Amino acid sequence: MATPPRPPLIPDAGWAFLGSAAFTKAATLAVLGTVFLAHPIVAMIGWWGYGAALATLAAFCGASLRVRRGEIEWNGMLPISLLVFVGWSLLSIVWSQYNWASLGGIAYQLVVAFLGVFVALSRDLLQVVRAVGDTLRFVIAASFAVEILAGALIDMPIPFLGVSGNLVEGGPLEGLLGTRNQFGAVAAIAVMTFFVELATRSVSRWVSATSLAAALLAVALTQSPVTLGVLAVLVVATAVLFGVRRAGEPLRRILNLVVLGVVGLTLVIVWVARSRVIALLNAGSEFELRYTLWMQVLGLAQLHPIEGFGWVGVWPRDVPPYSWFLVAGRGHASALNAFVDVAFQLGLVGLVAFVALLGLALVRSWLLATRRRTITYVWPALVLLVLAVTSLAESSLLVGFGWLTLVVCCVMASRNLSWRTRLPR
């Protein structure tokens, strides 16, 4: 008697579900929620549990992409700048002196990048904005709920979540993000997201207006100088962007060149007058702490200036040389500056690759925002600007929600403006 054929591991109905619009919508929300809420998840189940959750999500998302591979436009999908940066990070494990820590950091970077690519390929821009909006509504609401619990109901901090319970005093609040600067960065992204939702009327006006008010309140209650500075830059950039959008095509090109020139000149002036700028900023204890840490990291980086010490992402505080960096008697999970962090971990080569990745993503997103009439296109440009400015005082752009958002915006901008899309197929 012939042996009956073995049933497939996943039946046809299962594959059909993995390729459905309902699954891609749910998977997108799951990805965004898991990455934006990494801090409380890790606090509750640890890095191994969190890694297992990300790996499971990646497996389902990979299966979904496999089912829909014929529907996706793959030409010019992945920006070369992204591939170069990730490739150099992967290569750095060869000379890393903490190979296991590098392996874990690279695995985290690759999985989050893959999830970002899934989101960018599976949803159009308006759907991404809606998904981010829904996720951040939950993050901000849950953060306020935890702050009310800690600050008003039990009147004591919640140490394992990093919540100080300062709500009654008016802040600073950390929410579910661990620090006030991280909460402020997420709230600033939420401000831009809810503004676009309000302008496009993709959700009810009451929901978008209430969400925008809550995000602005979160920014204020973080009492974060970093976030307030980011918000000031965001207001100016938004005004400039909408001014350029209203101009005609010939004038728009000139204005974009003027904006580029002003930004470049500003960076040059700040660099030339950096001693004076540092002296002015050093009046504050928070900047003084950061500046001390940067000098320590850059000093040690001179031992491996070209290739760096090896990628690790989040600093393992019990692994040298990261355990050596003590400022104000405590260790740190990053260099509190994405560019300093990249220079230390990946050297000059990695820093150039990272600046190219971020710069190209910003320029492409800005050009799309000024050329396309749909207001949704302003979201990637301004969100990337929030992340770029925040990266001067935090390293969140390199891991977690910052890295995911960078990959999503980078891939979506590349699909619209990559030179490879004009190549013959």
282 has pLDDT over 70: no
Residue 15 has what pLDDT? 66
Of 75 and 140, which is predicted with more confidence?
140
Which own/partner pairs from 16-24 qualify as long-range (CB within 8 Å, at least 24 positions apart)? 16/67, 18/60, 18/63, 18/64, 18/67, 19/64, 19/67, 19/68, 23/64, 24/64, 24/68, 24/122, 24/123
Render pLDDT for 26-55 as a digit per residue (tens, 0 to 9). Answer: 999 999 999 999 999 999 999 999 999 999
% pLDDT > 70, the chain: 88
CA distance 363 to 68: 30
Render pLDDT for 2-21 as a digit per residue (tens, 0 to 9). Answer: 555 555 656 666 667 677 88
pTM of the predicted model as reported, rounded to 2 decimal places: 0.90
Q: Which of 29-38, 70-79, 91-100 has the lowest mean pLDDT?
A: 70-79
319 has pLDDT over 60: yes
Residue 361 has what pLDDT? 92
- Check residue 284 and report its DSSP letter: S
Render pLDDT for 171-227 as a digit per residue (tens, 0 to 9). Answer: 789 889 988 989 999 999 999 999 999 988 888 899 999 999 999 999 999 988 888
Residue 419 has what pLDDT? 54
Closest CA to 198 of 213, 220, 183: 213
Residue 256 has what pLDDT? 77
Looking at every residue in the chain, the average pLDDT score rounds to: 86
pLDDT category of residue 322 using cuts at 50, 70 and 90: confident
Q: What is the CA radius of gyration of the chain?
A: 22
Residue 1 has what pLDDT? 45
pLDDT category of residue 148 using cuts at 50, 70 and 90: very high
